[in-house]
Amino acid sequence: MPWFIPEELAQWSGGAWTQTPVGSLLGIGHDTRGLTSGCLYVALKGERCDGHDFVADAFSKGASAALAERAWAESDAGRPFRSRPLLLVEDSGRALGALAAGFRNKAAPWTVGVTGSVGKTTVKDMLADMLGRTRDTARTRGNWNNAVGLPLSLLAMPEAARAGVFEIGMSRPGELAPLCEILRPDAGIVTTIAPVHIEFFRDLTALADEKSELLRALPPDGAAVLNRDSLCFEQLRDRTPCRALSVSLKDGKADYQCQARDAARGRFAVVERATGESHEF
């Protein structure tokens, strides 16, 4: 669990302390049921409940400070807590994302973003396991891939991590770009495009365009891995501003093709098109 310097948290979030905590904060959380002693509690407004209602519970369970909205702190409900260490911001949800972006920039790991209609969590965990053999690698907690889960996963990343693999999910237009701004991925993987959450999009092309936000966020010296067997593959490739590698289960034009060798024994081979080299698994 990383330690956080109060002054840096204020700088990253654009907030101000009512009282600056003494010493570093030991983690950041938004659920009082799993808070650790000495942490920063983030009061988030949800559809069914308001995290500000649990600020007292957070302090009673050992939180050293709380991030809260100024409007709440100035209300009758929040006024009694102004003598406690509160990091006051205009919008706690946006501030959580800003904290994650600030910490990601400070830790500066090589990061991979994973999105797609299905398979994100499996691919994220496989890649994190592989990278973890040679370097300290952080990853998304479970499938925490939304505007709350991604920032919390980044904020749980050990500062010593040299790599990170983070899942990015969406269900509606406009949700992916803000997550990519927080993550600033060095590489990206789109598992596949399928009609999942399609009810919020005009058609599959519009859905693929939203997924392409991950690719558009990549730097010129970055890399993308795309599924050549997926719908909208050409659209995704055209949106990629850097090197794009393709994989396939059936298309010999892919950069890397997976071929079955012994189905009964679960053996297959991956063939690299440029060299013809292959490796069995």
User: pLDDT confidence of 60, banded at 50, 70, 90?
Assistant: very high
Q: How far is CA 201 from CA 172, 193, 205, 213, in A?
A: 7, 13, 9, 15
Residue-level pLDDT at 262: 86
CA distance 150 to 139: 10
Residue-level pLDDT at 159: 87
Query: Does the pLDDT of residue 197 top 80, yes or no?
Result: no
Percent of the chain with pLDDT over 90: 90
User: pLDDT confidence of 1, banded at 50, 70, 90?
Assistant: low
pLDDT in tens, 124-178: 999 999 999 999 999 998 889 999 999 999 999 998 999 999 999 998 999 999 9
